[in-house]
A and B are shown apart, each in its own frame.
Chain A
Amino acid sequence: MAVIVIKNLTYTYPTMDHPALREVSLEVEAGEFVAIIGPNGAGKSTLCYTLAGFVPHFFKGELQGDVYVAGQDIRHVRLEDWVLKVGLVFQNPFNQISGAKFTVYEEIAFGLENIGVPREEMKRRVEEVMALTGIADLADRSPYALSGGQQQRVALASILVMQPEVLVLDEPTSQLDPIGSREVFQVIRQLAHQGVTIVMAEHKVEWIAQYADRVIALAEGEIIASGQPAEVLTDPRLPEYGIGISRYTAVARQAAEEGLWPPHQRLPVTLEEAAAGFRAIEETDYARLR
């Protein structure tokens, strides 16, 4: 069943002449992990804000078309209820931190306190999510005396702990170290398996290729491609739109021009696919000579 249904969504911010999103239509199933790619300014954050209800409730502006999440029309929800259903991890973790708490532990417990979760359950959930996001050792630090990447983990943890039905993440790994980024993708993949519906704006195509179910490419507010990661991420138009592709895809495309990639084989998007393709080329070459 589709948890997110967007039909012909066009949205314009109050002070802008041009829509940030144009005629966007999209359905996301329960437990699906959808990645949104696109150059800066393409509308990725606006789409995230819309699912979280910040558009139109916080940013106002003009919204046309329909946005339903979990059967509810986004225009008619109350933001204070909505935050319990849809969790949004902001692009800039600094904007997520409450400023009301002195330690990372308390910061992560803040949302649960607000909705009156019993103490023991609260502690269990906070500790679980701190372990999951790799910040157990930061429990007693101030949320503001952290590195950018540590702060980003705290922001992620503070949303995960709320166990939202729909999780929207706006470039949640932008400041993370490389293995930390991959781990966030793994955690998100795991949550999707558990039935959480995920929409994630990201630039890291290597991990999108490996962990996402579907990829949507946005440019200038419009969906320009949508489908399986392998299909969308090898779309030859992506570079023209200023959308990054993996080194695997890029180098195989160059190799193909010299006949060094198996003819008629789709370009690779993951390490495994790239290794298999180049290995095949080396083996054919070797075999031909025997």
Chain B
Amino acid sequence: MRVCVENVHFEYPGGVKALRGVSLIIEPGERVAIVGQNGAGKTTLVKHLNGLLRPTQGQVIIGDWDTSQVEVHRLAQRVGYVFQNPDDQLFCRTVAEEVAFGPRNLGYAPERVHQLVEEALYLAELTDKAEINPYDLSPSWRKMVALASVIAMDTPIVIFDEPTTGQDARTIRRIEHMIEALRQRGKTILTITHDIDFCAENFERVVVMGQGQVLADGPKERILGMVEVLAQTYVEPPQLTRLGMQLGFETTVCTPAQFLETLRRRLGHYRANGLGRSEN
């Protein structure tokens, strides 16, 4: 299902102009990360995709639905949104009930609800915690409950708002597994993140926002090397991208695999030719 954002402007009551003409097309199955400084309009933009906000000017189209014509509860069939803070979205007495709430609410048949819940719990590694009260879990596990409860809704489009904030390495690994599983199911995945290394390793396309506008948009290998554009909105390239730049790599590397591959190729190149080392 295609997402089409057309020249969207948004002004909060009180006059803060959070979006100033944003246009964006996201094709089905894309994995897109939105990066940019605090207050750039990232959360405001994604809240337009599930109808929590409606444009002051411009249009947001999800598949064949214009969000300004469709109720929020119907949009929930198409767009799942995981809040930044899990405590903003959890309210049931057990993890299993919490995860079942969304799909049940969408009117899915009981067997399908059951299957979706099982699967979401499995993906979030929560199967053994199904009967626990979410508020008896640690904040990291509550984050996983929030993720599972949205994934169980089986929407074609899933949005994560800052999924790694305050999470430790193990939880981030779990979230990465979940994103990979969603990718395999053909879901469109959109995330807002300040964790630029996480962005580089799990997403293919990067949208850079600053002051309510899109500053750059494209494949991560192109965008994450744009030092000046990123700096305008308080973002730096990922660690390995910066390292590659310091070493004079010819291409922008984003992941450990890309870094090591380039390193091997350069070393092999010296071995083969004994010359041709690019100065840096």
Contact = CB atoms under 8 A, between A and B. Distances in A.
Interface of A: 38-41, 91-92, 141, 145-150, 152-153, 171, 174-182, 203, 206, 239, 242-248, 250-251, 254-255, 258, 260, 271, 274-275, 278-279, 281-282, 285-286, 289-290
B38 A153 contact: yes
A243 B266 CA distance: 32
Given A40-B167, A40-B171, A247 B263 contact: no
Contacts of A148: 38, 84, 162, 165
A242 B170 contact: yes
Nearest to A261: B263
Interface in B33-48: 36-40, 43
B107 interface: no
B168 interface: yes
B74 interface: no
B279 to A, nearest CB: 11
Interface string B166-186: 111111100000000000000
A1 to B, nearest CB: 34
Interface residues of B, number: 50
18 contacts: A39-B168, A39-B170, A145-B12, A145-B16, A148-B165, A149-B39, A174-B165, A175-B162, A175-B165, A178-B236, A179-B234, A179-B235, A180-B37, A203-B168, A247-B240, A254-B260, A275-B247, A282-B277
Nearest to A290: B274
In the A-B complex, list the 9 residue pairs whose CB atoms are closest, starting with the nearest. A149-B38, A244-B169, A289-B274, A247-B239, A242-B170, A275-B246, A179-B234, A177-B234, A39-B168
Contacts of B277: 282, 286
B174 to A, nearest CB: 11
Contacts of B75: none
Given A251-B260, A282-B266, A289-B271, A146 B39 contact: yes
Given A91-B166, A247-B240, A177 B37 contact: yes
Contacts of A179: 37, 231, 234-236
B270 A282 contact: yes
A257 to B, nearest CB: 10
B242 interface: yes
Contacts, number: 139
Contact of A175 (B14, B38, B172, B233): B38
B58 interface: no
B116 to A, nearest CB: 27
B55 interface: no
A281 B259 CA distance: 14
B226 interface: no
Contacts of A180: 37-38, 234
Contact of A149 (B171, B194, B259, B260): B194
Interface string B245-279: 01100000000100110011011001100110100
A244 B238 CA distance: 15
Contacts of B85: 92
B138 interface: yes
A243 B171 CA distance: 10
Given A246-B239, A289-B275, 14 more contacts: A147-B43, A175-B194, A177-B40, A180-B234, A242-B168, A247-B197, A247-B240, A250-B256, A251-B243, A260-B260, A275-B247, A278-B243, A278-B263, A286-B274
Given A147-B39, A153-B38, A286-B277, A244 B231 contact: no
B53 interface: no
A174 B12 CA distance: 25
B140 interface: yes
Given A176-B194, A247-B239, A150 B168 contact: no
A106 to B, nearest CB: 17
A255 B231 CA distance: 30
B28 interface: no
A281 B274 contact: no
Nearest to A171: B166
A178 B232 CA distance: 12
B130 interface: no
Nearest to B259: A251
A247 B260 CA distance: 12
A178 B240 contact: no
B168 A271 contact: no
Interface in B70-114: 84-85
Contacts of A39: 168-170
B139 interface: yes
